[in-house]
Amino acid sequence: MKSVTTSTTKSGRKAPPPQQDQQMAPKPPTQKFHVLPLAPCEDPQARIAKRAYELYCERGYRDGSALDDWLDAEQEILSQIPAV
């Protein structure tokens, strides 16, 4: 039978885990969305819906501006469609 040893301090107790400074704690990553140009074959309504949701996320998931988000997204996406 094998014996297993653990690392302990002189007093016979395990060393406590290192404390992290509250000021040095990593901040949660912020989401950044990149809007790519819209190809003529892509569904503009799907892109508008996705961008409207991204705008909702950027506002902190607060309700009450769905129409504004949709109209802003629509203007943004439709302005990217190349003229034929």
pTM, entire model: 0.51
Buried b / exposed e across 35-50, counting CB within 10 Å, b at 16+?
Answer: eeebeeeeeeeebbbe
In a domain, 43, yes or no: no
- 77 located within any domain: yes
Q: How far is CA 41 from CA 34, 37, 51, 82, in A?
A: 19, 12, 17, 11
- Kindly state whether residue 60 falls inside one of the protein's structural domains: yes
pLDDT in tens, 6-44: 554 455 566 555 555 555 555 555 555 555 555 556 788
Domain count, the chain: 1
Please indicate, yes or no, if residue 59 is contained in any of the structural domains: yes
User: Is residue 44 in some structural domain?
Assistant: no
| Residue 11 counted as domain residue | no
Each residue's pLDDT tens digit, 39-81: 556 788 999 999 999 999 999 999 999 999 999 999 999 898 7
